[in-house]
Every structure is written in structure tokens, then in C-alpha cells.
Amino acid sequence: MRLVIKGGRIIDPRNGLDTVGDLLVEDGVIAWCGQHLPDAMALDGDVVFDASGLIVAPGLIDMHVHLREPGFEYKETIESGGRAAAAGGFTAVVPMPNTNPATDNRAMVEFVARRARETSPVRVWPTVAATRGNENELMSEIADAKEAGAVAVTDDAFPLQSAELTRRVMEYCATFDLPLLTHCEDKTMTRGGVMNEGLVSTLMGLKGMPRAAEEIQVARNIRLAELTGCRLHILHISTARSIELVREAKRRGVSVTCETCPQYFTLTDESALGYDTMVKCSPPVRTAEDVDAVRAGLADGTIDAIATDHAPHAAHEKECEFQAAAFGMVGLETALGLVLTRLVHAGVIGLADAIRKMTVAPASILGIPGGHLSVQSPADITIIDPDERWTVDPEAFQSRARNTPFAGWELRGRAVATIVGGQIVHGDLVRAPRGRVRA
């Protein structure tokens, strides 16, 4: 099928393109992208979608999700997580390796990749755990995992506590040219903690997780990256001081990048008042000062990427007392709406910058294809209505999970169609009325 997406605002940060124009998809690749499709290239029988008033962007890439398979399929599967990604406008996702068994060897990386090919409507790029079984003791077989398709090494929910082990992992990552994605948390400072440490945790009578627990590991990991030459990427950065540490490191030329997630530029610890377990996540949402710092870090480029840390849980794991509830919230189906509502429409960052942080930036950090609309590249495309107002309804999620603190929020802007390799995996361009589709 040849598909012409006509008259949309095409934004492709990697190629410096921001123009109203046309895009032609043929045989799964982008055959034309520019201001006006030449008459000679248009054929009878082309499916033409009028995208006037919509944004035509490279397919969004989420570099930090949890698909829970194998081991926790009651929360999410690669298939259901893939559907959720497509509904949220993502054409590719990067699952963390804290599965059961852990994704810590060639066979497990191959399993994730095979299941993705069989069931997921979007691309899935596997990662490998930094240590066997996520146990913080013996390193995983990094070279083998890379050969099998792993695009990064990560400790994620099991942060490396030993500086010496972290150094050795970084040396292997540098040798095999893989980025190390680190969840920065000194566990000796957060044991038993369930939310940000501060006035609100005191008022609620809950044990807090100090910001210093994150900042100490950010500082340590930056120093080790300097020592080893490893490409360091800091997952879900959340505190003002952490961001300043990254900013200082970048000034010195250290190879460090970082991401944040919508909850860290949207929520504060006061959101937990009333003991709302949907707000509980790790790192915890912080204070208004930290939210301002995250927004400033996004605006000045210190924070490179926006991910979701999509963390699905079953109802019984959240519908319990705050101390016992699981950490994490789903995010694939709300991320774009929150970015547009809280960052773009609020004037924190521009639309092109938001798209950059959700497309070419994660692709560049991970060294994976995608994130642009170059001719002859795979047709991974997200079509966005930047002004559509909608209300978050967890019961309508494609994810198996419903754990979101954003239920009932009105957001402005969403993905109306998602295309992967020329195939429409969300939305219905063919039968849609002129210029608009509905999920």
C-alpha cells in the first residue's frame, strides 16, 4: 500500500525539518518527505490522508519501560505492552531486564526479541542486566548479550551498590561500546523508605527516601564514567542536585546523558497526601523545587530524553496500605499528553524540542535505528493532534494495568495514529474522516 500523508506539519529534529508538507510511504519505507509531493510521484490508487492541522513526527521511542515478560505476565506482556505503546504513539520501546528469570544472558535476550517479533505491534529493543540475576555480585555475559541483540546494559531497579563492580561493568560496556543505564540509589539510605524524605513524609508518618541517596550515586557514576570512558546514561533523574551534577559533568566533557519521566515534571510529594498509592514510585516524586529544576533541565538541554518508566502492576499490588504497595506507575498511554500539556502548551519547551527528546535523542543514546524521517528509512511515524482535549480513563488503556495517578486528568494533545514499518498499528487513517482520526 502506498500512503500519502498530506498537508501536515512535519517535524523531524534530526534533519532540521519543520514545515508543512507531504510524506509518502511505499513498501514500508519513507519514499518522500518535503513541502510538496511532486505530481509525477503521485499514483492512482494511493491512499491519501489529509493531515492538515496535525503533526507528522518520527515514531516516538521510549527508552525505559517494563514489559514484565517473562515471569510477571499477570501485570503485562510484551504483546499488551506493545499495544499500549502503539496507543501512546510509540513505535519502539526498550524494556528493562528485571524479569523472572532476569534477562541476563544470550538466551533471555533472544527470547525477548523473539516474543517481540511474534506478538508486539511496535519494535522492541532488548537490554541485558548488569549482573547475573540482578544480584549485584557477578557480571552478566555482556559480549554474548550484545551479539544476541542487547542495545544497553542496565541495573535499573537493582542499582549497583559496589563502586568496584560498577567500575568493572563500565569497563566492559566501554570495551563493547554499549551504554550503561543506571538507576541511581544508595540503598543503605533508602531501606524501608516509601516516598520522598521531607515535610510531607513527616506529616504522613512514612519513612522517607532522601534526595542524597540519588545524588551520591549520580556523582559516583559520573566519576567512574570519567575513569573508564563508559557511555553513562542516568535513568529517571528526579532531584535538582542530580541535574546540576549532570550539567557540571557535561561542561567537563564527560560522556553522560540522562532522562526524566512525566511524573517528575508533573507531580510533587504533596500528591501522596491522602496515601494515594498510585503516586508511589522509585525514585519518588520530589518537591516543587525539584520539579522546577527538572523543567529547567529539560529547557536548557541538560536532560536529554523523556521516557516513561512504564511500570504496570496488578490491582491487588496497589490497592493496599501505602507502605506495602508496589513502586511504579504505567506511562505509555499518558506520556505524550503530559509532555504536550505540561511542557509544550505551558511554554517550558518547544514542540520540536519535545519531539527531539522522544525520538532522535533516545535513538542516539542507544545507537539504535529510528527517530527520524529520512527518505529510505523505515516508515516509523507518529501523527499527533496537538490540541485534542481528552480525559485519562484507565479502563480504556491497552495495557493490562491501570495503576496511574493521572486518572480523570484532562490533557491536551495525543497521538491519533502510529505507523511502524509502513503498517498502521494504532488509529485508522484509511477510514478516518478528513484530517482527523480517533484512537
The answer to whether 122 and 65 are in contact (CB under 8 A) is no
3-state secondary structure of 290: helix
Residues 6+ apart with CB under 8 A from 61: 90, 91, 92, 93, 94, 358, 359, 362, 363, 368, 370, 371
User: How far is Cα 383 from Cα 216, in angstroms, rounded to an integer?
Assistant: 40
Whether a cis peptide bond, with omega within 30° of 0, leads into 70 is yes
User: How far is Cα 373 from Cα 425, in angstroms, rounded to an integer?
Assistant: 18
Q: What secondary structure does DSSP assign to 418-439, as a single string?
A: EEETTEEEES-TTTSPTT----
Which of 62, 104, 155, 309 is catalytic? The answer is: 309
User: How far is Cα 371 from Cα 63, in angstroms, rounded to an integer?
Assistant: 12
User: How far is Cα 372 from Cα 29, in angstroms, rounded to an integer?
Assistant: 12
C-alpha cell recorded at residue 286 = 520530589
Active site residue 309: yes
The answer to whether 137 and 102 are in contact (CB under 8 A) is no
Residue 233: φ, ψ to 5°: -125, 125
Alpha carbon separation from 192 to 195, 212, 424 (Å, rounded): 10, 16, 45
Nearest Cα neighbor of 98 from 320, 309, 397 is: 309
- Please give the helix or strand (H or E) that residue 251 lies within, else none: helix 240-251
User: How far is Cα 108 from Cα 146, in angstroms, rounded to an integer?
Assistant: 12
The answer to whether 294 and 303 are in contact (CB under 8 A) is yes
Helix, strand and coil in the chain, % to nearest 5:
35, 25, 45
Q: 202: buried, middle or exposed (CB in 10 Å: 19+, 13-18, 0-12)?
A: exposed
Whether a cis peptide bond, with omega within 30° of 0, leads into 284 is no
Order across the sheet with 128-129: list the strands: 128-129, 153-154, 180-182, 232-234, 256-260, 305-306
| Conformational region of residue 82, where left means phi above 0, alpha means psi within -120 to 50, and beta covers everything else | alpha
Give the residue numbers marked as catalytic: 309
